[in-house]
Amino acid sequence: MSIDYSISKDLSIRSEYDTDYSERSTKLMHAFQNSITSGDPEQVRKIAEVAEQIKDLQLVMSEDFEVLKLYCAYSVAALTEISIKNGLPKDVGEAMKKNCFYKIAHSHHKDELANINITVFEEIIQSIKKYSMKQYSLVIRMAIEFIHNNKFKFLFSKDVANAISVNRSYLSKRFKEEVGETLTDYIHKTKMDFAIELMKSNIYHYNEIAEVLGYQNYSYFSRIFKKYYDLSPAEYIKK
């Protein structure tokens, strides 16, 4: 697979290490951006192979390990921002960034940092495929953002409609047409996706997760979870 490095000169950035403009480094970031919007994880790996040959990045990799962590964290933050601009709900991007920062802070080798960068690209691509709002109308994007930003509350479709000042019946119909699932299903699935992340952390008891996501009790939470995954929360984590 060939990688398109065409980019106008006004997008070039001055290299920290050379007197000339570091066009190849800038083109590399541009290619990374294109890979995110195209949703092609294989292209990410191709770009990573090219990255190893770029002088600027080779010098960065020779830095002190703690400094290298900062470079890696900056890269993750920049990619998260690009992803949010390309339709990823902000809370999803921020959660992903926080998780990467944790991994960076607890890494011990340069190879770990390199793997984190590749992993975050793949996670971003998968998240954009799953959550991207770019193709939706403004009213649907507003509804989705509200759901993600209020996933710790128990929400009805009328709550979403009231929050963005539209008729509930209109919103429900429009949501089904554009997203392909009901507004209620989207609300619960958003909560369940976050519940899975909390369960994987092994920090919270399942009844605590149910409570933090706004469900009245664990029994109801478990019933909703099983509706979408055909397994109880405990069974899902064990599989």
pLDDT of residue 40: 57
pLDDT of residue 20: 44
In whole angstroms, give the CA distance from residue 115 to residue 81: 20
Q: What is the pLDDT of residues 51-93, one digit of tens each?
A: 544 444 444 455 677 877 887 888 788 878 877 877 788 888 8
Contact between 12 and 26 (Cβ < 8 Å)? yes
Sign of the Cα torsion 109, 110, 114, 116 reads: positive
Residues paired with 21 in a beta bridge: 14
The most confident of the ranges 66-75, 91-100, 130-139, 190-199 is 190-199
Distances (CA, A) of 188 to 42, 65, 164, 174, 182: 32, 42, 19, 18, 10
Q: What is the pLDDT of residues 160-192, one digit of tens each?
A: 999 999 999 999 999 999 999 999 999 999 999
Q: Which residue has the tokens 């009901």?
A: 182
Question: What is the overall mean pLDDT for the chain?
Answer: 77
Q: Parse the chain into domains and list their residue ranges.
A: 11-131, 138-238
Q: Among residues of the chain, what percentage have pLDDT more than 90? A: 36
Q: What is the pLDDT of residues 4-41, one digit of tens each?
A: 434 333 333 343 444 444 455 555 566 666 665 555 55
Residues in the chain: 239
Q: How far is CA 3 from the centre of its chain?
A: 23
Structure tokens given for 131: 């959550």
pLDDT of residue 42: 61
How many other C-beta atoms can be found within 10 angstroms of the C-beta atom of residue 238? Answer: 8
pLDDT of residue 32: 61
**Is a pLDDT exceeding 80 seen at residue 205?**
yes
Contact between 55 and 17 (Cβ < 8 Å)? yes
In words, the CATH class of domain 138-238 is mainly alpha
Q: What is the pLDDT of residues 138-167, one digit of tens each?
A: 999 999 999 999 999 999 999 999 999 999
